[in-house]
Amino acid sequence: MNPLRVAIVGFGKIARDQHVPAIAAADGVELVAVASRNASLPGVPHAATLDELLRDGPPIDAVALCTPPQVRHAQAAMALAAGKHVMLEKPPGATVAEITPLVTAARAAQRTLFATWHSRFAPAVEPARQLLAGRKVTSVKITWKEDVRVWHPGQVWIFEPGGLGVFDPGINALSILTRILPQPLFVTSADLAFPANRDAPIAATLALSDAQGLNITAEFDFLQTGPQSWDIDLDTDGGPVTLSMGGARLRAGGKQLVDAAEAEYVGLYRRFRELAATGESDVDLAPLQIVADAFLLGRRRTVEPFEEAT
């Protein structure tokens, strides 16, 4: 089988830190071009924009869109119209509804649309799902707190409309939760803290449930200093279960069941290659729907302005 020839569109921190090494480590996938106005990769053909890449760049089979979510819909539509498979970094878009036309376009073009949730490929997530399949979950607590100044330095778009603010990392926890729990989840209340000078929240508290009345709470914070927290604690009829380090570790019954190195993005590209081989799409919007409902239902509070130190 010929390798899947991928172009990365948008070459910021996530593309450099995750996508480039993952493509190099994934069998059957090859990085053949980069499209970015502000950055390039030595030795790899470069274009300033996606349309320039499609017009003048080397032959490609697929694009990985690592641009801010506010511009991904137009780029995905352009790539699908050009007959390319499309990987969408998370979140897949700035709104829920804009993804549906892309699914339709991918089906018509017989091309893959892959809305990725990289945290679902963390090493402890599937073992946790299998463990919980035999248990009754009685409550869940999410604690997802990190420092935006460390993980998103200079990324102004994240606090602009459609950038999600603290839900950019928080949606990772929701993507795990919607994978490991068997029932659909919905928001029952939300408190959103917006800096006075920003258009997206810097902290949030959510309450969620399912049709059986499961009690779920989530605390998201974008100003955590010191140790960072990416934890999901579940009470079950078989004892407590904890997913920590963003899904890299699983503990249950007083034992560490999984403690593995991160390899999420390699899993993403393996899945992308499998999908592209048949033209199948994989688009689960449940995590994005929860965030959208949090904005719809949430009580908004104004907090002190956020200024990133220079």
Residue tagged active-site, from 13, 84, 90, 145 = 90
The C-alpha atoms of residue 288 and residue 167 are separated, in whole angstroms, by 9
149-165 pLDDT per residue, tens: 999 988 999 999 999 99
pLDDT of residue 310: 55
**Per-residue model confidence as pLDDT tens digits over 77-88:** 999 999 999 999
CA distance 296 to 199: 14
Determine the Cα–Cα distance for residues 292 and 79; give it in Å rounded to an integer: 26
Q: Which CATH superfamily is domain 119-261+293-303 in?
A: Dihydrodipicolinate Reductase; domain 2 (3.30.360.10)
Residues of the chain with CATH 3.30.360.10: 119-261+293-303
Stretches where the chain sits below pLDDT 70 are 1, 310
Residue entry with tokens 């804009």:
98
Reduced DSSP (H G I as helix, E B as strand, rest coil) percent helix, strand, coil of the chain, to 5: 35, 30, 35
d(C-alpha 159, C-alpha 166), whole Å: 9
Interacting residues of 32 by C-beta distance below 8 A, sequence separation 6+ = 5, 6, 7, 44, 45, 58, 59, 60
Say how far apart CA 145 and CA 229 lie, in whole Å.
Answer: 5
- 279: left (phi > 0), else alpha (psi -120 to 50), else beta? left
β-strand partners of 218: 142, 206
Question: Cα 193 vs. chain centroid, distance in angstroms?
Answer: 21
Note whether 204 and 294 are within 8 A (CB).
yes
SS3 at position 170? helix
Is 84 labeled as catalytic in the residue annotation? Answer: no
List every span in the chain annotated with CATH 3.40.50.720.
4-118+264-283
Phi, psi of 281 (to 5 degrees): -110, 160
CATH topology of domain 4-118+264-283: Rossmann fold (3.40.50)
Task: With CA atoms as reference, report the closest residue to 3 among 59, 50, 82.
Answer: 59
CA 287 to chain centre: 9
State the Cα–Cα distance between residues 246 and 243, nearest whole angstrom: 7
